[in-house]
Structure 1
Amino acid sequence: MRVLVTGGAGFIGGNLAESLVRAGHDVTAVDNLDPYYDTGIKQRAVDAAAAAAEDGAGSYEFVEGDVRNAALIDELVGDAAVVYHQAAQAGVRTSVDDPRKPNAINVDGTLNVLDAARETEIERVVLASSSSVYGKPEYLPYDENHPTTPVSPYGVSKLAADQYARVYHEVYGLPTVSLRYFTVYGPRMRPNMAISNFVSRCLNGEPPVVYGDGTQTRDFTYVDDVVGVNRQLLRDDAADGEILNVGSTDTIDIRSLAELIRDELAPDLEIEYAAAREADAEHTHADVGKARALLGYDPSTTIREGVREFIRWYRANRDWYEPLVLRS
């Protein structure tokens, strides 16, 4: 199958593109290589997918381009049977500093993808949304009917994008599925995330730093589980027109996460605390009942298993990855 992955050099998009190539699909990845975080990580993602193609599975083409370029997106979408729209300006705190950039990429860029797709006979557009759309919890776990009151411009932009996808399905009959990801982590993750920072500091004999009092909770989702549900949507139409939570169903508070990583790597270190960061959510916890009912989604990686797997990957790739973490 011919597949387009926007944001295909990013963390989730890169892992997805590589997995699809290894499964024998013909993948085009488009990414603007924005230096929001070090582009060296993105180049590793491109190289991994290209290596998968050289192994004799599917084919792979990388296009450096931007989802804000409507003409380019028209051309690329027109050649695809399925589009995975992973491209986005990530970062809650970044969006607080500059709300217009995430709007231009996450909203206008999404409209470019949707407009291009509705002019074709495309089988499906799968959109990467975010748990940031929910904002402050009125109850937990979040189900898809929970009120959406995002607390950051990033969350607002992702909410607008997944609602556009829903409306394009209802108004134009475009097959769309929006997946609201809950704190995805794993190999090649952005270097400025809590897990990568905790691992780096502990490996270097420095105490992990928790922002706030550490009682904030997160539903951390291992990237392989996210890739798996995306791949199922290549041919499964059971969720067309739907918005689905994709989480782990498991939560951990940030202090316990820091302790888990500390105990794995440097048990004698003490946890340090710093002021909480602006616009960070207090709690996230996914109800994945809808994804389970429609797609049989069953996340298989616990936070302990995922952290250990990430630590193994980090150690194997420490020479190039750790300098990026230390600079973040």
Structure 2
Amino acid sequence: MHVLVTGGAGFIGGHLAERFAADGHDVVVLDNLDPFYDLDIKRHNIETARDAAETGDGSYEFVEGDVRNAELVSDLVSEADYVYHQAAQAGVRPSVENPRKYDEVNVDGTLNLLDACRDSGIERFVMASSSSVYGVPRSLPYEETHPTTPVSPYGASKLAAERYAMAYSEVYDLPAVALRYFTVYGPRMRPNMAISNFVSRCMNDEPPIVYGDGTQTRDFTYIDDVVDANVTLLDTDAADGQVLNIGSTDNIEIRTLAEEIRDQLSPDLELVYEERHDADAEHTHADTTRAQELLGYEPSHTIREGVGKFIEWYRDNRDWYEPLVRG
């Protein structure tokens, strides 16, 4: 099958491209190599997926370009059977400084893809959404029917994009699925996320920095579980027209997470607390019942197991990954 992965040089997109290529599919990656973080990590993702294609039966092609380029998007979609739309302008805090860019990339870029998919008649459009669409919790864990009241421009842009996807599914009979990710982490993760920062600082005998009082909770999701959920959508139409939570069902306080990483790596360090950003969510916790019923989704990693695997990977890849995380 021919699979187009937008944002395929990024963290989640890179893992998806690698998996699809290793499984024997013909993969095309579209990514603009935005320097939101060090591009060497993205280049590493490209090479890892390319190597997977060479050792398996699949093929891999990288196209440097932008989802805001409607003509390019249309050309690439016309050759695809499936579109996995992972491209986005990421970051809750930066979205407060430049909300219009988030609208241009996350909303208009998604519309370009949806128009192209509608016109070409692909098998399925799968898009990355976010737990940021929920905003302030009225109840936990979040069910997909929970009110969506995002508190950041990033969350608002992801909600708009997924609503367009669901509208196209309804009006144009376009098979579309939106997956609401809950704080994905793992090897090659985007730098300056909480887990990568905690690990990096502790390995260098620097205290972990916690923003706020640390009682905020997160539902962290290991990358392998996210990839498995996406791959399942190659083979089933059960979730077409649906939004699904993809989380771990296992949440943890940020200060507890920092303490556990600290205790494994540098027990003598004291946590440092700094001011919390207003756009940060207070709590996230996923109800994954719908994903389990429709996809058979069962997350296989608790946060403690996943963090242990990430620390092991970090040690093995410290020579190239660490300066990028800490820079």
Tell me the TM-score normalised to structure 2 length.
0.99
Distance 1:27 1:237 in 2: 21
Secondary structure at 2:145 match in 1: coil
Aligned equivalent of 2:222: 222
Aligned equivalent of 1:251: 251
What are the Cα deviations for residues 173-204 of structure 1, in whole angstroms up to 9, with x where unaligned? 00000000000000111111000000001000
Q: AA paired with 1:129? A: S
Secondary structure at 1:174 match in 2: coil
Q: How does 1:16-95 map to 2 (within 5 A)?
A: 16-95=16-95
Secondary structure at 2:197 match in 1: helix
Aligned equivalent of 2:138: 138
Secondary structure at 1:309 match in 2: helix
Distance 1:306 1:40 in 2: 24
Name stretches of at least 5 consecutive residues in structure 2 with no aligned partner. Answer: none
Aligned equivalent of 1:309: 309
Deviation at 1:55, TM superposition (A): 1.0
Deviation at 1:244, TM superposition (A): 0.4
Deviation at 1:121, TM superposition (A): 2.2
More displaced stretch, 51-60 vs 18-27: 51-60
- Kindly, what percent of the aligned residue pairs are identical? 70
Q: AA paired with 2:171? A: V
Q: How does 1:101-250 map to 2 (within 5 A)?
A: 101-250=101-250
What are the Cα deviations for residues 195-243 of structure 1, in whole angstroms up to 9, with x where unaligned? 0000001000111110100000000000000000000001211000000
Deviation at 1:266, TM superposition (A): 0.9
Distance 1:243 1:320 in 2: 37
Distance 1:300 1:147 in 2: 28
Secondary structure at 1:118 match in 2: helix
Distance 1:51 1:290 in 2: 35
Q: How does 1:282-321 map to 2 (within 5 A)?
A: 282-321=282-321
Deviation at 1:320, TM superposition (A): 1.3
Distance 1:52 1:190 in 2: 21
Distance 1:198 1:57 in 2: 38
Q: AA paired with 2:133? A: V
Is the CA contact 2:23–2:56 (under 8 Å) kept in the aligned structure 1? Answer: no
What are the Cα deviations for residues 116-152 of structure 1, in whole angstroms up to 9, with x where unaligned? 0001121000010000000000000000010000000
Secondary structure at 2:119 match in 1: coil
Is the CA contact 2:21–2:56 (under 8 Å) kept in the aligned structure 1? Answer: no
Name stretches of at least 5 consecutive residues in structure 1 with no aligned partner. Answer: none
Q: AA paired with 1:223? A: I
Deviation at 1:263, TM superposition (A): 1.1
> Alignment length, in residue pairs?
327
